[in-house]
Amino acid sequence: MANISLQNISKAFDYKPILKDISLHIHQGERVAIIGKNGAGKSTLLKILNGELEADYGKRILEGDLEIQMLAQKPNFQEGSTTKESVLQALTTLNQAKQSLEQIAKSLQNAPYDKELLKKHSKLSNFIEHHNAWDLENKIQQILETFDLKELENQKVEYLSGGEQKRVALACLLLIKPDILLLDEPTNHLDVEMVEFLENLLLKEKYTLVFISHDRYFIDKIATRIIEVEDCKIREFNGGYGDYLKAKEALLKSLSKSHQTLLKHLRMEEEWLARGVKARVKRNEGRKERILKLREEAKKNPSLIKKMSLELEREHKHFNQLEGTNHKKMLFELENISMQMGNKILFKNFSTRILNTDKVAIVGKNGVGKSTFLKLLLGRAQNYYGTLQKGGF
């Protein structure tokens, strides 16, 4: 069973809390999307699940002998290896298992009732079946071709671009098919056909998956559950992105209703306080303290409700645009992009979508960042903040 649990996990960096007392359980066959703003703690949560980052408090519990693999933002490869060699190195265990199975099958021809050989044969067969590795060579060729790596298979990986390296790393993990696959922004550096192939593969072969993504369309297609990281806590929602938006809307209505109830209760308490009741002073003092707390809570709630309402409105708008257009014609989606050269800010928190057939003019004075913006779209500028999604060209 591919199950992993986090119990009462807390993590801070330089005394700044990132996660506080969170608990999470991942079941076999689930595809869990982790969402949240930049810096909210999504990558921290994924690294704790992977075991590469230790929590300050709490437990990470694995059920059984699990193989967990993670796609990092900056993959590491053996120095001097080509693309094809890197893929084959990643599949060493699977290839060895297939070779051992062939040898055992030959031995069973001479000793068909050998219990020990039959036991080993069954174990290896189940291992290969679990990793869907019977037709491994064809799968390698299919993934290399789909991810545009076939022409790069004899090139050394260290000379590939960052996007190409990430596609090699993703190809390796998909071929290995670990018990639990952890992906950080898997659709970055993939065109639409590659994303469609990835979606179909993840669904067809029933991966147990936990992934971070800003791609609403991918989340809606793949996720069976969504984990939202916000204010050092997590909130869970069943289903894809559309289900998440509906659940958030229901949560917003519930918060608004609770706030109205709080205000009504506070008004009654304020009337009591205005009467200047003096009897049973000790009890009254406690009641006065509760009124002060109610006042503070009543101050915070409107800003929280307004913030959630604005965010929900924005998310509905983006998601409806995505559903209402042909996703295959999306060229670029920019969200909260910021960039500066030295001390000069070129653009800040800029968001837009550029579709195929759009005609976009970039205007401005010399030196304001027009050429830099084009380089950003072409992938030649790396020092930016925010999310840039590329579609099929």
260 and 314 inside one domain: yes
358 and 382 inside one domain: yes
In a domain, 97, yes or no: no
Averaged pLDDT of the chain: 82
In a domain, 250, yes or no: no
Q: How many domains does the chain have?
A: 3
193 and 51 inside one domain: yes
- pLDDT at residue 36 greater than cutoff 60: yes
What long-range pairs does 232-239 form, CB within 8 A, spacing at least 24? Answer: 232/17, 232/18, 232/19, 232/20, 232/22, 232/41, 233/19, 233/20, 233/22, 234/19, 234/22, 234/24, 234/45
- Per-position b or e across 242-267, b if 16+ CB within 10 A of its CB: ebbbebbbeebeeeeeebeeeeeeee
Domain termination site, one of 272, 298, 324? 324
204 and 55 inside one domain: yes
190 and 59 inside one domain: yes
Spatial separation of the C-alpha atoms in residues 94 and 79, rounded to whole Å? 22
Spatial separation of the C-alpha atoms in residues 255 and 50, rounded to whole Å? 35
206 and 187 inside one domain: yes
Crossing angle of helices 92-110/136-146, nearest 10°? 160
Task: Kindly report which listed range (199-203, 300-304, 322-326) carries the lowest average pLDDT score.
Answer: 322-326
358 and 378 inside one domain: yes
Domain housing 288: 256-324
How is 21-82 classified by DSSP, letter by letter? EEEEEE-TT-EEEEE--TTSSHHHHHHHHHTSS--SEEEEEEESS--EEEE-SS----TT-B
CA 71 centroid distance within chain: 11
Task: Give percent helix, percent strand, percent coil of the chain, each to the nearest 5.
Answer: 50, 25, 25
pLDDT, position 1: 53
In a domain, 88, yes or no: no
264 and 317 inside one domain: yes
Residues in the chain: 393
Domain termination site, one of 239, 266, 290? 239
In a domain, 171, yes or no: no
In a domain, 53, yes or no: yes
Instruction: Judge contact between 335 and 214, C-beta under 8 A.
Output: yes
Say which residue the tokens 């958030």 belong to: 248
Say what percent of the chain tops pLDDT 90: 22
pTM of the model: 0.68
Q: Which residue has the higher pLDDT, 329 or 158?
A: 158
User: pLDDT tens across 279-295, in order?
Assistant: 455 566 677 677 777 67
pLDDT, position 180: 93
Query: Does the CA dihedral 285-286-288-292 come out positive or negative?
Result: positive
User: pLDDT tens across 154-205, in order?
Assistant: 889 888 888 888 889 999 899 888 999 999 888 877 877 788 889 998 998 8
2 and 63 inside one domain: yes
User: pLDDT tens across 48-99, in order?
Assistant: 999 999 999 999 998 877 889 998 777 888 888 899 888 888 888 888 888 8
